Structure 1
């Protein structure tokens, strides 16, 4: 049975069909978002649902203050992942404040993403170890290697499974922060225009969320959530601090601090937004200049490897062809005539 399995897995026809199937699946997954409708509308719908959830949480908090013995929210039936996480106390072992902050920065809010993150960190090492053991020992892929190397390969697969959720969350947080960072100066300009026209901060953020959604859905989502928190939280300062914590960007933190100071001391918001908008645009221009200045060193190696050989071939090619036709550098010397 094992020999037949190995023969089937090493069959070129089977491998070709498997690769074609994987390519077709990847193509379908790539083209699927194009037929999934407007992503901005879907994200806005998700934000509306989250706003309703935030409103429900606020009402539940008010009820809890009136009757602290009410435990209705805690008596909900737990899912399978939550039961495993709570039974093994994974939150205390694998999670800390940095993990919660990273999940918020990646766009995962609430208890369910944390539960799924901890569950996958528990399960994926065993999955990686099992797959590596079947691939190495079951199929005999590394038969010529020593036993210790095969064991270390299995352990490495388990470690990869353990850190795979962290890598996924980190990559998603980086992409999300980059999207917000690109659209932030334009959002500040729009907010400045709205505030100078007489709109409040809540109305300005709501309007900017509608306009900036085509450029950055993530930033529009953050503005909508901040507007909801400004409406329902007791302290407006907490809403601004939550915005800075969810984004994890220094420009956003500077703006939130300016808004907090304006709320506390009554300073003009438009002036602070004008200064911060100018600073954000200067920072973006400086970053673009840094990238432009770093291009010559990065292009040195590609030019040596790809451009110079082609240039030498174009310049010296005709001369080499002519020399080969003439028989080399010296060519065929004409024989001297016979002496008289």
Structure 2
């Protein structure tokens, strides 16, 4: 075997074949990256295509929602609701400027949402009273209570039905404000970048509305509506004031005042937006710190109710088991000795 191996090593043809094989392998190993192409360009192209696809989907969704809201504002009100509200003059009795402002804060604009709001405030008390009366008197609910208690329960349900639309609008407004407040600093940063790049305030709002829609649809809708008002209203100041009134946020009011002053006195908008963006981020950080500081008092009761009993069981459980075992064995020993 060794003689054959030595003959193969000393054979020139075998050595040439080995060197050729090594050379071919080295050549292929060297040329493989160039043959595979530029992976960075391929990955960047894939990311760009995915980003364009996501942006197109987001724009289509925002356009569909805007079209749906626009159709909802343009559609005719329900004839029955409108006649009932106008015949009973509910707008004078149940609605004022504060009610309209609350509906606007919740994202309901126009006369149709106001008509529905007043109609449900009229109808829901009777519905609540009827359901409570059917449960109490017909189905035998609260059998041990006297009649005046049952009647009082029915009145409570009617009272809850009267204020149910108000609670719904307040909840919707608070959620909308929270969504806008969360995305507002990022929107200011995007607007600052657009303004510093040479875009007008209308083009900047339109661009920010396209980009911020993935984070807050409500804020994107407000920017689109403000952009439309800047184009159609006689005074641009009114468009900025409407933006502040529709959102109800102090940070948005500050930005609106800064834009109004920039329009009136010709001051640079970029400087004001930079300062206001920093303030908005600081306010958001302060809110987060407040929530973090409020956690220990909130966790006190759950810790007392859930954590401490388990902790006591873990600590005192083995000792209790040992004491019980010693007590049993001690009794057995005493009985055996006796």
TM over 0.5: yes
Name the structure 2 match of 1:262: 262
Shift of 1:208: 0.6
Q: 1:231 to 1:102 in 2, by over 3 A?
A: same
CA deviations on 1:151-186 (whole Å, 9 max, x unpaired) are 111111111111110010000000000000000011
Q: After TM superposition, list the pairs within 5 Å mapping 1:1-340 onto structure 2.
A: 41-48=60-67, 79-327=79-327
- Name the TM-score, length of structure 1 as normaliser: 0.76
CA deviations on 1:200-259 (whole Å, 9 max, x unpaired) are 111111111111111111101111111111111111111111111111111111100110
**Cα distance in 1 for residues equivalent to 2:196 and 2:328:** 81
**Cα distance in 2 for residues equivalent to 1:78 and 1:334:** 90
For the 8 Å contact 2:59–2:210, the answer to whether it is kept is no
For the 8 Å contact 1:51–1:225, the answer to whether it is kept is no
**Cα distance in 1 for residues equivalent to 2:237 and 2:168:** 31
Q: 1:304 to 1:50 in 2, by over 3 A?
A: closer
**Cα distance in 1 for residues equivalent to 2:329 and 2:309:** 22
CA deviations on 1:285-331 (whole Å, 9 max, x unpaired) are 11111111111111122222212222222222222222222217987
C-alpha RMSD of the superposition: 2.5
Q: 1:294 to 1:83 in 2, by over 3 A?
A: same
Q: 1:236 to 1:51 in 2, by over 3 A?
A: farther
CA deviations on 1:128-158 (whole Å, 9 max, x unpaired) are 1111111111122123211111111111111
For the 8 Å contact 1:40–1:214, the answer to whether it is kept is no
- 178-187 or 305-314: bigger deviation: 305-314
**Cα distance in 2 for residues equivalent to 1:51 and 1:243:** 18
CA deviations on 1:99-137 (whole Å, 9 max, x unpaired) are 000001101011100000011111111111111111111
CA deviations on 1:18-59 (whole Å, 9 max, x unpaired) are xxxxxxxxxxxxxxxxxxxx78744432324667999x9xxx
Q: Of the two, which has the highest radius of gyration?
A: 2
Q: Which of the two has greater helix per residue?
A: 2
Structure 1 counterpart SS, 2:254: helix
Which runs of 5 or more residues in structure 1 are unaligned? 1-37, 57-75
For the 8 Å contact 1:47–1:224, the answer to whether it is kept is no
**Cα distance in 1 for residues equivalent to 2:323 and 2:72:** 82
For the 8 Å contact 2:58–2:213, the answer to whether it is kept is no
For the 8 Å contact 1:213–1:220, the answer to whether it is kept is yes
Q: 1:90 to 1:334 in 2, by over 3 A?
A: closer
Q: 1:285 to 1:241 in 2, by over 3 A?
A: same
**Cα distance in 2 for residues equivalent to 1:84 and 1:140:** 34
Q: 1:41 to 1:93 in 2, by over 3 A?
A: farther
Aligned positions, number: 279
Hey, which bits of structure 1, 4+ residues long, moved more than 4 A? 38-43, 48-54, 328-335
For the 8 Å contact 2:81–2:116, the answer to whether it is kept is yes
Structure 2 counterpart SS, 1:327: helix
Q: Which of the pair has the greater relative contact order for Cα pairs under 8 Å at 6+ separation? A: 1
